[in-house]
Amino acid sequence: MAGGRLRRLVSAGAGFPSAEVYALAAKLVHGAVLAASGLLVLMLLDPARIGVFLAFANLAGLSLLADLGLIYSLLLAVSSRPADEAGPVASAAFAAGLPTAALTGVLLFAVGAAVFAGSRIDGGTWLWPWLSYCIVSSAQVVLMLGLTYAEGTGRRLEAWRGQFRIELLAGAVLLATIALGAELWSLAAASAARVLILAWLCARRFEMPRCAAAARAGVWRRQLWPMQWKVLVSNAVAMIATRLLTPILLVAQGAVAAGQVGLVLALSALVMVTSSVWPMSQTALYSSLYHEGQGAALTGRFRRAFAGSTLLAVLAAAAIGLGCDVLRASSAHMAERLPAPGIVWLVLAAAPLGHLANCLMIGIRCQRTDPAVIPGLLLLVPALAAYWYAARLGPESFALAYLAVNAAFALLYGVYFRRFIVAVRARR
């Protein structure tokens, strides 16, 4: 039964376009939209409005924590089980996801309200766009469980093809809203577009499982929570160490500096996310190979994805750095909105390091645990202290701190990945 699941997972990405192609295409569309939105705000907004928008966008990125690690835990759980055991696990995830999304939506609104109030931004500017985003993004979290269940049960191609379509529509809505001058509404509008497609996919394409209500709580505790809390803590560390950076600059240096440095931080984060999509799209396959005891196949597939995606990260960071140099030299308008060249290159140099940490984490988690989660949480404390202190010193110091923190996390996951590979080879 488990072997049949593994064959379906492998065959799901064997055609052309494969699941990996759609995954990369989805992230490339996402990246192109972010790049285009960055150019739009550079051309249409003054430096202070850019800083507010980027702080808004970074706080909105905290919604990636709204599932409390449930989505990734569901993917690992159903991809490592026979089909008859995957349904009850997914049903338990849906039951847990509804109250989770509602609670985290309220918390997200409270965090954003505290930051915006502390930055003395007019409440009429941010209140309704922020409230709308918190509501719609909570619905998106619940519906993403359906897409995850489809991917974990062998429908990787269909799931990533759906994700590609989602990125196309959401990206078009985002850019149109920014172009109309309603940049703070753009994130809520794009999230609403995602919700519409996800609702259609879950209702028409993906058959959702069901199980008795009494069984769901026990299944969640046994099959999802042991990995979910680790994913939650790890994701929280990553989000806090990245998404709070522009708000920290906004408070410490003001809207102009936050806009200048925040734009390059967003481009650096984009490189990390886009370059990691190749190994990320094979998460379900890695989990199945590990639980089938096929260590050689697992390490071979991961090695190819790791090498190719790391090269992509280096090339993308270099291309963005050169592009910023050209924009600064060719336009006084752009020069006013970009930080000094040294800051740009320090921030972009951190992108391949962040990519390394992401990839190694993906490999480690295929065993349905993450031994680096507590050390990562402990590392976050000095990282945040370094960010806050460096932000008060100035943008250059902040860029150095960003590079150092990403190097530290890459080293941390490198140590634990080496131990993981030794254990995989010992199981052969």
Identify which of 80-84, 238-242, 333-337, 364-368 has the greatest average pLDDT: 364-368
114 by Cβ neighbours in 10 Å (0-12 / 13-18 / 19+) ranks as exposed
pLDDT of residue 15: 47
Percent of the chain at pLDDT > 90 equals 43
pLDDT in tens, 283-314: 888 888 888 888 889 999 999 999 999 999 99
The pLDDT of residue 114: 86
The pLDDT, as a whole number, for residue 349 is 96
Tens of pLDDT, residues 324-336: 999 888 888 778 8
pLDDT of residue 2: 47
Task: Provide the pLDDT for residue 394.
Answer: 92
Q: Which of 361, 359, 364, 323 is nearest to 341 (CA)?
A: 323
Mean pLDDT, residues 328-347? 88
Instruction: Give just the sign of the alpha carbon dihedral 77, 79, 85, 88.
Output: positive
Q: In this structure, what is the dihedral angle of CA atoms 223, 191, 125, 122, given to the nearest 10 degrees?
A: 20
| Residue 137 contacts residue 56 (beta carbons within 8 Å) | no
Q: Lowest-pLDDT range, 22-26, 67-71, 120-124, 262-266?
A: 120-124
Residue 403: its pLDDT value, please? 96
400 has pLDDT over 80:
yes
pLDDT of res. 171: 95
Task: Report pLDDT for 54.
Answer: 81
Q: Pick from 96, 101, 87, 86: which is nearest to 221 by CA?
A: 96
> Which has the higher per-residue pLDDT, 285 or 409?
409
User: What's this model's pTM, rounded to 2 decimal places?
Assistant: 0.76
Lowest mean pLDDT among 118-127, 314-323, 408-417: 118-127
Lowest mean pLDDT among 84-88, 137-141, 421-425: 84-88
Range of the domain at 120: 2-426
Q: Which of the four pLDDT bands, split at 50, 70 and 90, describes residue 205? A: low
| Distances, alpha carbon 83 to alpha carbons 56, 101, 150, 152, 287, in Å | 41, 27, 11, 10, 15
Domains held by the chain: number? 1
Task: Tell which wins on pLDDT, 343 or 81.
Answer: 343
pLDDT of 260? 86
Work out the pLDDT band at 120, boundaries 50, 70, 90: low
Question: What integer pLDDT is reported at residue 5 of this predicted model?
Answer: 52
User: Pick the residue with more confidence: 226 or 202?
Assistant: 226
Q: What is the pLDDT of residue 212?
A: 54
CA atoms within 13 A on the CB side of 286: 28
Say which DSSP state 206 is in.
-
Distance, CA of 426 to chain centre: 32
- Over 77-89, what HEC string results? HHHCCCHHHHHHH
Q: How far is CA 184 from the centre of its chain?
A: 20
As given in the structure block, the two tokens for residue 237 are: 């560390």
pLDDT band at 405 (very low <50, low <70, confident <90, very high): very high
Judging by beta carbons within 10 Å of its beta carbon (0-12, 13-18, 19+), is residue 130 exposed, middle or buried?
buried
For residue 327, the model assigns a pLDDT of 87
Q: Mean pLDDT across the stretch 368-389?
A: 92
- What is the pLDDT, as a whole number, of residue 294? 87
Q: Is the pLDDT of residue 387 over 50?
A: yes
Q: Is there a contact between 115 and 55 (Cβ–Cβ < 8 Å)?
A: yes
Q: Is 211 left (phi over 0), alpha (psi -120 to 50) or beta?
A: beta
- The average confidence (pLDDT) of the chain is 86
**Residue closest to 4 by CA, chosen among 117, 84, 108:** 84
Q: Find the length of the chain.
A: 428
Nearest-angstrom CA–CA distance, 376 and 353 = 15
- Residue 354 has a pLDDT of 95
Of these ranges, 15-19, 53-57, 218-222, 303-307, the one predicted with the greatest mean pLDDT is 303-307
pLDDT of 201 > 90? The answer is no
Nearest Cα to 181, choosing from 29, 43, 286, 319?
43
Closest to 406 (Cα-Cα) out of 368, 333, 355, 340: 355
Q: Tell me the mean pLDDT in the region 63-90.
A: 84
pLDDT the model gives residue 209: 58
ω into residue 99 within 30 of 0, thus cis? no
**Looking at per-residue confidence, does 359 or 250 come out higher?**
359
Asked if residue 1 has pLDDT above 70, the reply is no
Per-residue pLDDT for 211 more than 60? no
Structure token digits, residue 90: 């997914």
Q: Is 370 helix (H, G, I), strand (E, B) or coil?
A: coil
Nearest partner of 235 among 111, 58, 78, 63, judged by Cα:
63
Alpha helix positions (H), 206-340: 213-219, 225-243, 245-253, 255-275, 277-281, 283-291, 295-330, 332-337
Confidence bin at 343 (pLDDT 50/70/90): very high
